[in-house]
Amino acid sequence: MSIDNTDTAFDVVVNDQGQYSIWPTYRAVPAGWEAVGVQGERQVCLDHIAKVWTDLRTKRLREAMRD
């Protein structure tokens, strides 16, 4: 399987700074990232990220700007 294959399924993952990405389901999610429970074709995952990740600043930056 390849990430360029149209049949590849992906997980939506997020890190501790609130940054989102997609990760192929056939590989283990890397350390520091956690699957959020959304899985499917690349575009389905990217559409989900576009809907939920509206503030692209890192968690650290968002917190610093609140002070």
Residue 43: predicted pLDDT: 96
Task: Give the integer Cα–Cα distance in Å for 52 and 54.
Answer: 6
Over the chain, what is the mean pLDDT? 91
Residue 1: predicted pLDDT: 67
pTM of the model: 0.84
Mean of pLDDT values over 38-62? 92
Tell me the per-residue pLDDT of 8-39, one tens digit each, with 9 for 90 and over.
999 999 999 999 999 999 999 999 999 999 99
- 8-state DSSP, 24: E
Distance linking the first and last C-alpha atoms of the chain: 47
Mean of pLDDT values over 3-9? 83
Residue 67: predicted pLDDT: 66
